[in-house]
Amino acid sequence: MQDKLKINRTILRFRDITDKLLTAEIDDIFQYDVVRDIAITHKDTETYQNNKEAVIYYFIERECGIEGRIFPNDELIEVGSRYDIIIQNFGKSKFKNMTNVDANIYHDPYKIINNIKTPEILRVQISELGKKMNNPAFKLFNYRGKVTGFVLDCKEDKNAHELYKEIKIGTNLAVEIEKYRFNDRGMINFLVKPLEIFNL
């Protein structure tokens, strides 16, 4: 049945089920399905067994029939803003006729605007992910492990090159996706250009 519905695919080939949820044409949700334009309503801090705290963001989209939590990993997001999400887990909701999901923020490497490829811009915090490779890096969403962003040293761009030299673990950074690749294990890497260092 679902094959006949011609479900859209994202640039990275994940199922985009947004339209089908809005029109109630499907009621099956799978891990790694993408839903577009989700509004974050609030956030909270949760403490885990190792006493580490994590900020969790929440949403409820009655028109799509989903609600739940967003785990942003190393991406910096804001309450009140809208994002695309990629579903990681799902189950029964406490709300009638809704599905509860856990999700990450999803990004395609670019958007098509007026038939022109427009690179995606992200706001991230550099983590220890690339420390062993001596390459500034950050984690985005989960798929076959981590979807990782690596910051390029764009020596042909003076401003980007100077920014690159200032980047360290914990730096808040606006980046532009230059290209993407699948490694030999099928994991996705985004290669990004630094645009701006900022404070929260």
pLDDT tier, 4 (very low <50, low <70, confident <90, very high otherwise): low
Q: Is the pLDDT of residue 88 over 50?
A: yes
Q: Based on the domain organization, do 43 and 96 belong to the same domain?
A: yes
Residues 139 and 93 in one domain: no
Q: Do residues 83 and 159 share a domain?
A: no
Enclosing domain of residue 135: 110-197
Domain shared by 74 and 27, yes or no: yes
Same domain, 85 and 15: yes
Domain boundary among 84, 105, 126: 105
Say which CATH number the domain at 185 has. 2.40.50.140
Do both 57 and 79 map to the same domain?
A: yes
Mean pLDDT value across residues 121-150: 92
β partners of residue 142: 146
User: If pLDDT is split at 50, 70 and 90, which confidence band does 2 have?
Assistant: very low
What is the CATH classification number for the domain harbouring 28? 2.40.50
Q: How many domains does the chain have?
A: 2
- 27 pLDDT band, cuts 50/70/90, is low
For residues 7 and 100, state if they share a domain. Answer: yes
pLDDT band at 5 (very low <50, low <70, confident <90, very high): low
Is the distance from CB of 120 to CB of 176 less than 8 angstroms? Answer: yes
pLDDT in tens, 134-144: 899 999 999 98
> Are residues 132 and 52 part of one domain?
no
Do 68 and 118 share a structural domain? no
Query: Could you tell me if 55 and 99 lie in one domain?
Result: yes
Same domain, 117 and 171: yes
Average pLDDT, the chain: 91
| pLDDT for 1 | 41
Residue 176 neighbours by CB distance under 10 Å = 18
Last residue of a domain, one of 48, 83, 105: 105
The pLDDT tens digits for 46-61 are 887 777 888 999 999 9
Show which of 38, 73, 105 is a domain's final residue.
105
Residues 136 and 98 occupy one common structural domain: no
Three-state secondary structure of 14-76: CEECHHHHHCCCCCCCCCCCEEEEEECCEEEEEECCCCCEEEEEEEEECCCCEEEEECCCCEC
